[in-house]
Structure 1
């Protein structure tokens, strides 16, 4: 009699099998994985460097102008100069050209004082810049146009010489190459208008200081006229090996209390230029307080980080540890992302906050330090005075 046997189910060897996901990145040989990791890290570093350099260019060509505009508005508001005379219909009166003795204003100024405001219609209807006393890097970077302290004042017999950037920092004199003979160059002090007429230009070396003499290019002569000289860098976007010098002579003067010069009438009547307090937009306001922006972003990061940590801990790391996800190939930003708490959207938000804080810190402190400390960037910042 045969003994009954128990049938063995087919594939019984697989009955106790359970799937185990891979616990590390499956990307070929160890050497290949190392190569890919190193290549990826180098790519991340290069991208980061490119972003930092791009940020510097953005700072140089745009943000410095925003900061300069904010500083100029603040300085104009501080002095509270009166508006020119208006008619009953609200339109500005046209100031009558004066023929008497030309007043000198201000008679003297301290370093950093607001000397005047400059208007050049050729540069645009809304174009206006402050003129402050001094032509060092700080004044030109923050306050628009600077007056050479050893030259004459508006209305004084001699040369009212000023300097301004041609690229970056608001690029006040970017378009000097567009000036045409006879164009108006208008200087407004507290009480007077001085309307100069553009005559000519020349390109000189930075050492040719005779261009700002009382009689331009003739330091041995006594002045018998009233001149204005604008100095800026040449070429515009590369190392400034030379200076672009623009000259003009006084055409007439007028009283602010009588209105605005005829040459400025179109800009004034259309509201393109302002003669009293100017409202700052959100960007110019932020330019004055990026340190507070950085602080606010740091606080926001701490609050969100702690809240996500308490509520979710580190789900990305936990998923890898528990085998739900394979261990990925190492990368700088990938590792940073995985070490943030909370779900994916929170981790991305935390990374964005850090990036914005770093960018704001670079704009506020990093890039200005680099421009004033690194020799190549010092040259590239286009210092525009002569001497």
Structure 2
């Protein structure tokens, strides 16, 4: 018969092993938690800080490059004024009211002939409502463009001021998140695009709140959703498109904001 109160060595060893296993498991969980926390901080804070800093420096570099001492400002021209153009407020789906002058068309042609190199920042996008001012680079590569806090120009779409669709992409979250709040844009808000040769002013016209990530129609020359055909245009014009992911912190769907060219001013 076993005496009461006596604990055998085997029992003590099992209990000690159990305590060591629990302690080791707790250490692993704490370490994993710290690593995950650091990853979250890196993604949500550090990448934004670094990308915004780099994007601001690139904007300053472009401004210095374009600065021309003593150059006079050219008068602004509204594509909807004079000739056979109508009102420039984008009241219907037609872009035909936007007919740049021959001088403006020549400015655009000259700019297009010396197109930007891949991943090169060559323009500055400004959205006053969002207090946004970021560089525009050629292409939508994540490591070479978007993750730098830049806005990327879709290959195959038009350049600023050209007839068709000047289509852009930008991160909604992390890496500077330049397009985080484009859902706040409203009809009539202005968007400006500066290049070495001209300043282009677009006016926000329509928003597509959500569509498939594969809805390529939103960046066509005449933008119209292939998933939700009631959103978009039916006539050629001078358009700008801003695209980003939605909802926030996911990449499941796309959000698009469209605008129409209102004026061009040669530098």
The TM tier, using the shorter chain, reads 0.7 to 0.9
Partner of 2:214: 207
User: For residues 148-170 of structure 1, what are the alpha-carbon distances to aligned partners after superposition, in whole Å with 9 as ceiling and x for unaligned?
Assistant: 11000011111100001101111
Partner of 1:118: 125
TM-score (norm: length of structure 2): 0.73
Work out the CA distance in 2 between the residues paired with 1:64 and 1:84.
34
1:164 aligns with 2:170: yes
User: For residues 68-103 of structure 1, what are the alpha-carbon distances to aligned partners after superposition, in whole Å with 9 as ceiling and x for unaligned?
Assistant: 2343345445553335889xxxxxx99742254433
- CA pair 118-215 structure 1, distance change in 2 beyond 3 A: same
Q: SS of the counterpart of 1:195?
A: strand
Aligned partner (choices 247, 253, 265) of residue 242 of structure 1? 253
| TM-fit CA distance, 1:109 | 1.8
1:180 aligns with 2:192: no
TM-score (norm: length of structure 1): 0.51
Work out the CA distance in 1 between the residues paired with 2:260 and 2:127.
14
Give matches, 1:1-387, under 5 Å. 29-76=12-59, 78-79=61-62, 80-83=64-67, 96-99=75-78, 100=101, 101-102=103-104, 103-104=107-108, 106-107=111-112, 108-124=115-131, 127-138=132-143, 139-202=145-208, 203-217=210-224, 224-238=236-250, 240-256=251-267
Q: SS of the counterpart of 1:128?
A: strand
Work out the CA distance in 1 between the residues paired with 2:167 and 2:35.
37
Work out the CA distance in 2 between the residues paired with 1:193 and 1:242.
32
Work out the CA distance in 2 between the residues paired with 1:215 and 1:122.
26
Work out the CA distance in 2 between the residues paired with 1:222 and 1:114.
31
User: For residues 310-362 of structure 1, what are the alpha-carbon distances to aligned partners after superposition, in whole Å with 9 as ceiling and x for unaligned?
Assistant: xxxxxxxxxxxxxxxxxxxxxxxxxxxxxxxxxxxxxxxxxxxxxxxxxxxxx
Work out the CA distance in 1 between the residues paired with 2:234 and 2:69.
37
CA contact (8 A) 1:106 1:154 kept: no
Segments of 4+ in structure 1 off by > 6 A?
none
Structure of greater Rg? 1
| TM-fit CA distance, 1:110 | 1.8
- Segments of structure 2 that go 5 or more residues without pairing to the other structure are 1-10, 79-100, 227-232
| TM-fit CA distance, 1:251 | 1.1
Higher helix proportion: 1
CA RMSD of aligned residues (A): 2.8
Work out the CA distance in 1 between the residues paired with 2:111 and 2:174.
29
- Segments of structure 1 that go 5 or more residues without pairing to the other structure are 1-27, 87-92, 257-387
Higher strand proportion: 2
User: For residues 199-242 of structure 1, what are the alpha-carbon distances to aligned partners after superposition, in whole Å with 9 as ceiling and x for unaligned?
Assistant: 111122122111111111289x996421100010011123x221
